[in-house]
C-alpha cells in the first residue's frame, strides 16, 4: 500500500493494494503528457485570476510555479512518483512542493476529466502536424527519386504478373498521391482535435464564472466543445488519428513490399544502401532489407491500436469512464511507430539505387506490348474483342516459339490479320508503348510531367499549411 496521501482521499477509509494501484495508475505512460498538462494548467490559472475566481497574486504564484516546472521538465530534472496516480496528480503535487498550499487553488473549477481530455487533444493535434510533416518528407524523397530516375521504364503489374510497361516515375508518384491523401486526413483530423474541452469540469460544467474561450484562445484552439458531457467523453479524435495512421501504415507496408520484391535476385530492380540492410549470421552472401520488412510488420500493431480504441469506446455510457485511460498507450505507440517508420524510410529512399537495365529488360519480355497489338488492330477497324483474340493467339505462338511479339515477321503476323502493316513494329516498341499512353493520369512522359507539377503544387500547399500549425 502506498502511504502517500491521495489528493482525493477525503471520503476513503481503506486504500488499494500496491499492486492494484500499479495496475490502475497511468503515470507510467501518461507522463509524456507532462508539458501539455502544464501548459493547460497555466492557461487555466491565468483565466482563474482574470475572472477573479482566485486572487491575482495566487494566479501569478501558480503560473510562476508551473513555469518553473515546465523549465525543469525541459531539462529532464523532474521525477515522477509511481504512487501518484497519473500525470495530473504528479504535477499538482510537484507544484505543491514548489509553492506550498497555494497549489491547492489550481484545481478550482476543473476536473481531471476535462484536464486529461485537454492534454490528449493537444497531443493529437501536434501528432497530426508532425506526421503530416514526415509524410511531406517522404513525398519529397519520392519526387527527388522520380526527378532523377523517373524516366526508367519498368514493368507495371496486375496480379503481380507483368502487364504493361510504365515509367518508374509514374509508379513512384502513385505513392506520392497516397501520402497526399494521408496528409489530408491528418489535416482533417487536426481540425476536430483542435477544439478545447477545458472547462467542462467533471461532466456538467462548473458553478464558477470561468471563461472557456479565453483558455481555448491561449492554448491555440479554434473553439470550445458546446456540450460539457461530450467534451469529457469524446475520443473520436483519437479514433480518427488511429484510423488515419492505419492507412499510412497500409501505404507504407505496400511500398515496403515492393522494395522487398524489387531487391530480390528475381526482380533485381534496385539496390539499397548497406546502412538500411542487415546480413545473416550464417549465410555470408545475404543482404536483407530489414527496415522495409520491419515497417511492413509494424502494420499489425497500428491496426490493432485502432480496433482496441474503437472497442474501448463501445458501450461506454456518458460521460467520463476510467475505460478512457486506455486511449493512451495505443495512440502513443501508433503515432511513434508511424512517425519513426516515415523518418527511416525517407532516409532509406535517399540510398536507393535504380538498376535501369534490369527494369528495361524485364519490361521488354513477357508480351507487355500485347495490349498495343490489340489496340493497333482495333484502331484499324477490327472489333476490340476480335483484336484481343488475335493478339492472344500471337502470344500463344510466341510462347511455343520462344519469341517476343516484335520478333514475329510481318508475314507471320498477317496470317492472323490482314490489318497488320509495317507500322505495327513502331506500335510494339517499348518507348512508344509507354509514350502513347497519353490519357489523363497515364504513364506517357508528358502526362507524368503534368502530374509531377500537380504533386509539386500539393507539396507547396502542405508546406504553407505546416507554417500555420507550428506548435
Give the catalytic positions in this structure.
159, 280
Stretch that binds ligand ARG, among 212-220, 300-308, 322-330, 378-386 (CB under 6 A): 322-330
Report d(CA 34, CA 40) in Å as an integer: 10
Is the CB of residue 192 less than 8 Å from the CB of residue 237?
yes
CA of residue 295 relative to chain centroid, distance:
12
Residue (of 166, 173, 138) closest to 152 by Cα position: 166
Dihedrals phi, psi of 280, to nearest 5 degrees = -105, 145
Closer to ligand ARG by Cβ: residue 26 or 194: 26
Min dist CB 216 to ligand ARG, Å, is 20
Is the CB of residue 189 less than 8 Å from the CB of residue 102?
no
Min dist CB 29 to ligand ARG, Å, is 9
Rule CB under 6 A: which of 227-256 touch ligand ARG? Answer: none
Question: Quick one: 270 exposed, middle or buried, by C-beta within 10 A (0-12, 13-18, 19+)?
Answer: buried
Residue with cell 552472401: 285
Q: Answer yes or no whether residue 325 interacts with ligand ARG by CB under 6 A.
A: yes
Is the CB of residue 318 less than 8 Å from the CB of residue 242?
no
Closer to ligand ARG by Cβ: residue 233 or 253: 233
Min dist CB 446 to ligand ARG, Å, is 55
Min dist CB 320 to ligand ARG, Å, is 6
Binding-site residue total for ligand ARG (CB under 6 A)? 10
* Helix or strand run (H / E) with residue 340: helix 328-349
**Site track 38-77 with ligand ARG (rule: CB under 6 A), x = hit:** ----------------------------------------
**Rounded to 5 degrees, what angle do the CA atoms 132, 134, 138 make?**
115
Closer to ligand ARG by Cβ: residue 116 or 248: 116
Closer to ligand ARG by Cβ: residue 116 or 469: 116
Report d(CA 67, CA 315) in Å as an integer: 40
Dihedrals phi, psi of 103, to nearest 5 degrees = -60, -30
Min dist CB 211 to ligand ARG, Å, is 23
354 beta partners: 270
Rule CB under 6 A: which of 184-213 touch ligand ARG? Answer: none
Min dist CB 113 to ligand ARG, Å, is 5
Report d(CA 346, CA 138) in Å as an integer: 5
Report d(CA 427, CA 406) in Å as an integer: 9
Residue (of 161, 172, 170) closest to 365 by Cα position: 161
Q: Answer yes or no whether residue 324 interacts with ligand ARG by CB under 6 A.
A: yes
Stretch that binds ligand ARG, among 128-136, 266-274, 316-324, 447-455 (CB under 6 A): 316-324
Min dist CB 231 to ligand ARG, Å, is 13
Is the CB of residue 30 less than 8 Å from the CB of residue 327?
no
Strand 223-224 relative to strand 195-196: parallel, antiparallel, unpaired?
parallel
Min dist CB 8 to ligand ARG, Å, is 8
Report d(CA 412, CA 416) in Å as an integer: 8
Q: Answer yes or no whether residue 437 interacts with ligand ARG by CB under 6 A.
A: no
**Site track 294-313 with ligand ARG (rule: CB under 6 A), x = hit:** --------------------
Closer to ligand ARG by Cβ: residue 32 or 360: 32
From the list 86, 92, 182, 375, which residue makes contact with ligand ARG (rule: CB under 6 A)? 86
Report d(CA 232, CA 115) in Å as an integer: 9
Give DSSP secondary structure letters for 171-190.
HHHHHHHHHHHHHHHHHHHH
From the list 26, 194, 369, 451, which residue makes contact with ligand ARG (rule: CB under 6 A)? 26
Report d(CA 294, CA 129) in Å as an integer: 24
**Site track 93-132 with ligand ARG (rule: CB under 6 A), x = hit:** -------------------xx--x----------------
Closer to ligand ARG by Cβ: residue 159 or 322: 322
- SS3 for 308? helix
Min dist CB 202 to ligand ARG, Å, is 7
Closer to ligand ARG by Cβ: residue 320 or 420: 320
**Site track 348-387 with ligand ARG (rule: CB under 6 A), x = hit:** ----------------------------------------
Strand residue runs (E) in 269-332: 270-271
Closer to ligand ARG by Cβ: residue 225 or 320: 320
**Site track 261-300 with ligand ARG (rule: CB under 6 A), x = hit:** ----------------------------------------
Closer to ligand ARG by Cβ: residue 255 or 324: 324
State the cell numbers at 324. Answer: 478512457
Report d(CA 297, CA 304) in Å as an integer: 12
> Which residues lie near ligand ARG (CB under 6 A)?
26, 30, 86, 112-113, 116, 320, 322, 324-325
Amino acid at each position: 500500500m502506498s502511504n502517500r496521501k491521495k489528493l482525493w482521499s477525503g471520503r476513503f477509509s481503506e486504500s488499494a493494494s500496491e499492486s492494484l494501484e500499479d495496475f490502475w495508475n497511468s503515470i507510467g505512460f501518461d507522463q509524456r503528457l507532462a508539458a501539455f498538462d502544464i501548459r493547460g494548467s497555466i492557461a487555466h490559472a491565468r483565466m482563474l485570476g482574470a475572472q477573479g475566481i482566485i486572487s491575482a497574486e495566487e494566479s501569478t504564484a501558480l503560473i510562476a510555479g508551473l513555469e518553473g516546472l515546465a523549465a525543469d521538465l525541459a531539462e529532464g530534472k523532474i521525477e515522477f512518483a509511481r504512487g501518484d496516480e497519473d500525470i495530473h496528480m504528479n504535477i499538482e503535487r510537484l507544484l505543491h512542493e514548489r509553492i506550498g498550499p497555494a497549489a491547492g487553488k489550481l484545481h478550482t473549477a476543473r476536473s481531471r476529466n476535462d484536464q486529461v481530455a485537454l492534454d490528449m487533444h493537444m497531443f493529437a493535434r501536434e501528432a497530426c502536424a508532425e506526421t503530416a510533416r514526415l509524410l511531406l518528407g517522404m513525398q519529397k524523397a519520392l519526387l527527388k527519386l522520380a526527378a532523377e530516375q523517373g524516366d526508367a521504364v519498368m514493368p507495371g503489374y496486375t496480379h503481380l504478373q507483368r502487364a504493361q510497361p510504365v515509367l518508374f516515375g509514374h509508379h513512384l508518384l502513385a505513392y506520392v498521391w497516397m501520402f497526399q491523401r494521408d496528409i489530408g486526413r491528418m489535416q482533417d483530423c487536426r481540425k476536430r482535435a483542435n477544439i478545447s474541452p477545458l472547462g467542462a469540469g467533471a461532466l456538467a460544467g462548473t458553478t464558477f464564472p470561468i471563461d472557456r474561450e479565453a483558455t481555448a484562445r491561449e492554448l491555440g484552439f479554434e473553439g470550445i466543445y458546446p456540450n460539457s458531457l461530450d467534451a469529457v467523453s469524446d475520443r473520436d479524435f483519437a479514433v480518427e488519428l488511429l484510423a488515419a495512421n492505419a492507412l499510412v501504415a497500409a501505404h507504407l507496408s505496400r511500398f515496403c513490399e515492393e522494395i522487398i520484391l524489387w531487391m530480390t535476385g528475381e526482380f533485381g530492380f534496385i539496390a539499397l544502401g548497406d546502412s538500411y540492410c542487415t546480413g545473416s549470421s550464417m549465410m555470408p552472401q545475404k543482404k536483407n532489407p530489414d527496415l522495409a520488412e520491419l515497417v511492413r510488420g509494424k502494420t499489425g500493431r497500428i491496426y490493432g491500436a485502432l480496433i482496441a480504441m474503437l472497442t474501448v469506446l463501445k458501450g461506454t455510457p456518458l460521460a467520463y469512464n476510467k475505460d478512457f485511460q486506455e486511449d493512451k498507450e495505443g495512440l502513443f505507440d501508433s503515432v511513434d511507430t508511424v512517425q519513426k517508420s516515415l523518418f527511416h524510410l525517407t532516409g532509406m529512399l535517399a540510398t536507393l539505387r535504380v538498376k535501369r537495365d534490369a527494369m528495361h529488360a524485364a519490361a521488354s519480355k513477357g508480351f507487355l506490348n500485347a495490349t498495343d497489338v490489340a489496340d493497333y488492330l482495333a484502331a484499324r477497324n477490327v472489333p476490340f474483342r476480335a483484336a484481343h483474340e488475335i493478339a492472344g493467339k500471337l502470344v500463344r505462338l510466341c510462347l511455343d516459339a520462344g519469341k517476343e511479339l516484335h520478333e514475329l515477321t510481318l508475314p507471320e503476323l498477317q496470317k492472323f490479320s490482314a490489318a497488320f502493316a509495317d507500322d505495327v513494329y513502331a506500335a510494339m516498341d517499348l518507348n512508344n508503348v509507354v509514350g502513347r499512353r497519353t490519357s489523363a493520369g497515364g504513364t506517357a512522359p508528358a502526362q507524368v510531367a503534368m502530374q509531377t507539377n500537380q504533386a509539386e503544387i500539393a507539396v507547396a500547399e502542405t508546406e504553407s499549411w505546416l507554417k500555420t500549425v507550428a506548435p
